[in-house]
Amino acid sequence: MLATTAAADDRGVNVRREVIGTSIQGRQIEAIRIGSGIPVLIVGVIHGREEAGLAITDLLERMAPPSGVEWWIVPNMNPDGVAMNLRGNANRVDLNRNFPYLWAPLGRKGYWQYAGPSRASEPETRAMVDFVRRVKPVFGIWYHQDLNVISPSTGLEGRLRRTYASLTGLPMKRITGGTYTGVAGTWQRRVHPRGMTMIVELGPTLDATQAQTHADAVVEVSELLRNEWK
Ligand SMILES: [Zn+2]
């Protein structure tokens, strides 16, 4: 089921595209690997009505990570939600409550944070679970809207988040207001023994200049990670 293509392009880095799964309605979920080294995951969209991250992943697909870093870009893990303008997938499941770590039943179909009938019940979640377990990212970046915030953390994870926040102008404060079971980033952090994650809550809009600022910030934090990762 994996469709892969590989080519060294004019950036001088190895680029590989693969299909990592299929949505309920048959749309492909794609991953693009650029470079080689410490694996960094970048997910443009998980909530279908929060598409601003696509502008950032579009830019990143045409850029290159610092040497020693391997980007794994998943522009859109919820293609049906984007097509249908839904937060959840075509089953109305909130994919960011459907991941296997600390999954708990939450609401029912129609509830905005409906967690699905069981852990990783959705094909989009399972595609990401298999993919992330294979890639084992050291650091994952997950784009959302529109709280305009990054949560603080400690250690290297905290420094990566602070650096990103200061480069992009996003305020740092704790994200509140939801129920946080089955969250993708929390699960992804635990796939690698010293895994780290960063939820980037963009604002309501993101223009081209801001998107470029965010893409450049991904390069900067990738470099910081490479320099500090031991
Ligand atoms: Zn979201």
**pLDDT, tens digit, for every residue of 2-59?**
445 555 566 778 899 999 999 999 999 999 999 999 999 999 999 999 999 999 999 9
Predicted confidence at residue 192, as pLDDT, reads 97
Distance, in Å, from the CA atom of 83 to the CA atom of 78, rounded to the nearest integer, reads: 9
18 Cα to the center of ligand 1, angstroms: 25
- Domain spans of the chain? 4-228
Q: What angle do CA 137, 124, 216 make, to 5 degrees?
A: 45
Which residues are near ligand 1, the ion (C-beta closer than 5 Å)? 47, 50, 144
Predicted confidence at residue 178, as pLDDT, reads 74
Predicted confidence at residue 5, as pLDDT, reads 58
7 Cα to the center of ligand 1, angstroms: 33
- Decide: 24 and 123 in contact? Cβ < 8 Å: yes
Among 2.40.50.140, 3.40.50.2300, 1.10.3470.10, 3.40.630.10, name the CATH number for the domain at 4-228. Answer: 3.40.630.10
Predicted confidence at residue 1, as pLDDT, reads 40
178 Cα to the center of ligand 1, angstroms: 10
Q: Which two tokens stand for residue 138?
A: 């050291």
Of residues 221, 220, 217, 179, the one with CA closest to residue 197: 221
8 Cα to the center of ligand 1, angstroms: 34
Q: Which residues of the chain have pLDDT under 70?
A: 1-10
